[in-house]
Structure 1
């Protein structure tokens, strides 16, 4: 019998080109998800818009990411359609990067971000689904690695952008003041407050930045560099399509998967009740014949990821706001490091969980992660006035919460025997939570004060753990129902076999 490490390595060697390609498209996803915060003020100058107007691009990206996630399941009929969609979306992301410097109006920039968000959503659903289909019961390890590449891309794009960001107001108005250092401080403060994933800063109207005048910004170079960095990703997808003989120039040959893999049909063609779009999951043909626990597992799994991805988005978006407010009153440069620490710890956590997922089952990893999130949030509440513990807590929170999405996705698909709509439902719910919980927490901070940021995240973490306990109970009931059903089926078929 092969050890888990040996089996995983053997599977990887068999499917290495598929796996590396799906990992690379998630690097493209990460590049696109993290660049907006650091560059948003230079983009404000480029479009000569107000801060209130430019923050609509955050909503445009997040909303269409949700739309793309729900529609990504439409590309389900074959490996060709899935890879074609990935090829198109990754190439579109490079085109969007290249086109952003040409967007001289906030509406054009919002349209560009909507296109990028839709592509990101499709990538999110397809890459997760294809890896789950490829590895099935061994998918947890490879999903952890997949989501590590999001963090890697999210670390690279701000590093690329940083040398090209303006140090001072990048629109020089006609009434310039001599106090340029104050203007530079305001710009750095605003950039740090907007550096969170999808963050929308509060009280931004108090900063009188110019909207008319001479535009001085070099951020275009950052976007062109990111467009070039991303180009190898669609090239990798194209290479995989050529390797699998899915391109027109190789159409005379039988697809390679058909020749080499006995399970190729399940990889190339989904079953009739397979992973469809979010709306296709509600089709009466899919609903019929399944117990209530089957659908409750979808709902609970989606709700858990709604909460946990919402916590990630809210913490990344508002930890800076909390840090610079009373009682902490951190300096803006110090507080600006918190978001980087959080994303770096998530990336390191996903790297560590690649190994841990080979050693421990998904339920154990999820229990450890969710309990860890609760403990860290409670300690952050207790030591709410400690700047040092905020950094420690941010780091540990990122490590704990990093593995929840890939572990939950692998666990749910395993329970449902890889025949439902779990991937599409879970990815869509996670995207929805990331958008909606940020809006909710932002509204609470705006009305009640920054301390309620920690309180909201703590309450959400308790709700997420309670939902997970309910998920485990539903899984037990669901497994018992299917065991009884299979035993009854065998008893009915046995006489027929004996009499034949």
Structure 2
């Protein structure tokens, strides 16, 4: 074992409990974020709402996830506030899952999902920030593992829901035998609703009952999810708080918070602040312009790449069942699962690659790979086989962009800014906004525009990354000049 291996292993063992806690939180996060899509039709029956009404629950969750991502930055002043927020958020998510079966009106359901989305956004920011703060220059490897657990949770979530989903119409009207949709139609609709926000267009063609006898067992799925979330994850966060001596019952021992606050964050003004904390005049004084440009470019890159992930997952099924491919519903329904499996496998592979290669190399490889795959998908747009191959390779290439970009940006900025909050919030915004944009373009221009939009976005993302590298070079030279000037001034101040 090399010296670097021993150092990383020693670092991991020293922060073992913290790391495992944040990984478990992200596994729960993955469970939550992937659970709404498969259950949305049964929730429509439970609330006896139309498809147009129920799909806005997606938007409610996504919008407040964005709000929570920004809010999470406000709670990072100390370890106590961050872990308290993490504990509260995991408990809120579990509580929301428990009460969703009791929400029999679409407005109540939207409010519940908004609360869950905000709590999920807070956990997203806090877990990323705490891992970056723990491992700093070695954070790339552990961030890859963190985001692997999101994908793992997203893969497990549909398996929990599937046994409790209705195979036929779950609202039986008086004339349901004549008008109810067939099982194949419902399967087609369920697949098209799998991507968050994807079904806000072209869903009026599916007339489903809103009045009648509700027959659904989806409540059991949510209660099982509540049990999975409520027991181990908040308990792990609570155990971490006890380990860090942040609970009243452990106040007789010296708190580790004091040591962490001094060594990790300095004063509260220099630690990881909120999204709006970057605009504090006291913090901004003396910062070079490249400091702000790097934040902006990093956020823009993740806005685009996470937007590509969201829009591809949301619309690849719609593209596959439309001309010229005209795939069968069951076959096309596999594409979304293949995409998420490849993302999860890619993040697992990049744990090792992050140890072997630097983030700039990994990002260059990933972004170039995304462009090549998108171009090939455009060229072979009539090939069903290549759509499956391209979906798999695209997931592998784009899987590491977020954790690598986060580690790279924080490293450039010396872990003193609010880069994590800015990047997490930008990624959440892109995932929500690009889905709506691509959905609008598909609605007006046809399904081929789906691939065209993704390809254009890929090129823009790579160009922004090249600009990011150029600004990073200028920033490094500027930082070196400031350090040199500071060193030359020191003898003068201490001379006489």
Q: Fold-level match, TM-score > 0.5?
A: yes
Matched with 1:247 is 247
Task: Give 1:415 deviation, angstroms.
Answer: 0.2
Q: Which runs of 5+ in 2 are unaligned?
A: none
- What secondary structure is seen at the aligned counterpart in 2 of 1:419? coil
Tell me whether 1:200 sits opposite 2:184 in the alignment: no
Equivalent residue runs for 1:109-120 within 5 Å: 109-120=109-120
Deviations 1:141-179 (A, max 9, x none): 010011111101111111100011000000001112257
2:270 aligned counterpart, secondary structure: coil
Distance 2:56 2:335 in 1: 24
Take 2:80 and 2:247, find their aligned partners in 1: how far apart are those partners? 9
1:266 Cα deviation (Å)? Answer: 3.0
Could you say which residue in structure 2 is the equivalent of 1:375?
372
Aligned to 1:387: 384
Q: 1:370 to 1:103 in 2, by over 3 A?
A: same
Whether the 8 Å contact between 2:173 and 2:212 is mirrored in structure 1 is yes
Q: Deviations over 1:8-57 (max 9, x none)?
A: 21110000000000111111111111011110000000000000000110
After superposition, residues 160-239 of structure 1 pair within 5 angstroms as: 160-177=160-177, 183-231=182-230, 232-239=232-239
> Distance in 2 between the 1:160 and 1:334 partners?
21
For 1:142, the equivalent position in structure 2 comes to: 142
* Larger deviation, residues 439-448 vs 270-279: 270-279
Separation of aligned partners in 2, 1:209 and 1:279: 45
Q: Tell me the alpha carbon deviations over residues 273-321 of structure 1, each in whole angstroms, 9 at most, x when there is no partner.
A: 2211111211111221101000000000000000000000000000000
The alpha carbon displacement at 1:496 in A equals 4.1
Q: Distance in 2 between matches of 1:84 and 1:280?
A: 20
SS at match of 1:430: helix
* Deviation of 1:370 (Å): 0.3
- 2:60 is matched with 60
Q: CA RMSD in A?
A: 1.5
Question: Partners in 1 of 2:471 and 2:483 — Cα distance?
Answer: 18
2: CA distance between counterparts of 1:5 and 1:391? 37
3-state SS of 1:206 partner: coil
Q: TM-score, length-normalised on structure 1?
A: 0.97
8 Å contact from structure 2 (residues 261, 267) kept in 1: no
CA shift, 1:256, in A, is: 3.9
Which one of 482, 490, 494 corresponds to residue 491 of structure 2? 494
What residue in structure 1 maps to residue 31 of structure 2? 31
Q: What 5-or-longer segments of structure 1 have no aligned partner?
A: none
**Deviation of residue 202 (structure 1)?**
2.5
Give the counterpart of 2:325 among 323, 328, 347. Answer: 328
Question: Is 1:473 aligned with 2:478?
Answer: no
Q: Give 1:251 deviation, angstroms.
A: 1.4
Following superposition, the deviation at residue 364 of structure 1 comes to 0.3
Partner of 2:312: 315
| Inter-partner Cα distance in structure 2 for 1:121 and 1:485 | 37
Q: Which moved more, 1:304-313 or 1:4-13?
A: 4-13
Q: Give the counterpart of 2:335 among 318, 329, 338.
A: 338
Contact 1:58/1:200 (8 A) holds in 2: no
> Per the alignment, do residues 154 and 209 of structure 1 end up closer, same or farther by CA in structure 2, a change over 3 Å counting?
same
User: For residues 421-450 of structure 1, what are the alpha-carbon distances to aligned partners after superposition, in whole Å with 9 as ceiling and x for unaligned?
Assistant: 101101110001001111110000000000
3-state DSSP class of the match of 2:176? coil
Of 429, 445, 456, the residue aligned with 2:426 is 429
Q: How many pairs align?
A: 495
Is 1:293 matched with 2:287?
no
The answer to whether the Cα contact below 8 Å between 1:37 and 1:199 also exists between their aligned partners in 2 is: no
- Once the two structures are TM-superposed, the CA of residue 201 in structure 1 deviates from its matched residue by 4.5
Identify the residue that residue 366 of structure 1 maps to in structure 2.
363
**How far does the alpha carbon of each residue in 1:159-217 deviate from its partner, in whole angstroms, 9 at most, with x for none?**
1000110000000011122576x521211110000112343252211111000000000
1:198–1:154 CA distance, 2 compared to 1 (3 A): farther
Deviations 1:387-421 (CA, angstroms, capped at 9, x unpaired): 11111100110000000000000000000000011
Provide the secondary structure at the position in 1 that maps to 2:174. Answer: coil
Q: Is the 8 A contact 2:78 2:261 kept in 1?
A: no
Q: Bigger shift: 6-15 or 127-136?
A: 6-15
Q: Distance in 2 between matches of 1:384 and 1:189?
A: 21
The structure-2 alpha-carbon separation of the partners of 1:329 and 1:449, relative to structure 1 and needing over 3 Å to count, comes to: same
Q: Which residue in 2 is equivalent to 1:416?
A: 413
CA positional deviation for 1:252: 2.1
Name the CA distance, whole Å, in 2 between partners of 1:275 and 1:494.
Answer: 32
Determine the structure 1 residue equivalent to 2:303. 306
My pick for the range that moved more, 282-291 or 432-441, is 282-291
**Counterparts of 2:124 and 2:133 in 1: how far apart (Å)?**
14
User: Structure 1 residues 269 and 157, CA, compared in 2 at 3 Å: closer, same or farther?
Assistant: farther
Instruction: Please say if residues 76 and 270 of structure 1, whose CA atoms lie closer than 8 Å, have aligned partners that are also in contact.
Output: no
SS where residue 177 of structure 2 aligns? coil
Q: Counterparts of 1:491 and 1:417 in 2: how far apart (Å)?
A: 22
Q: 2:269 aligns with which of 269, 272, 275?
A: 272
- Counterpart residue number, 1:440: 437
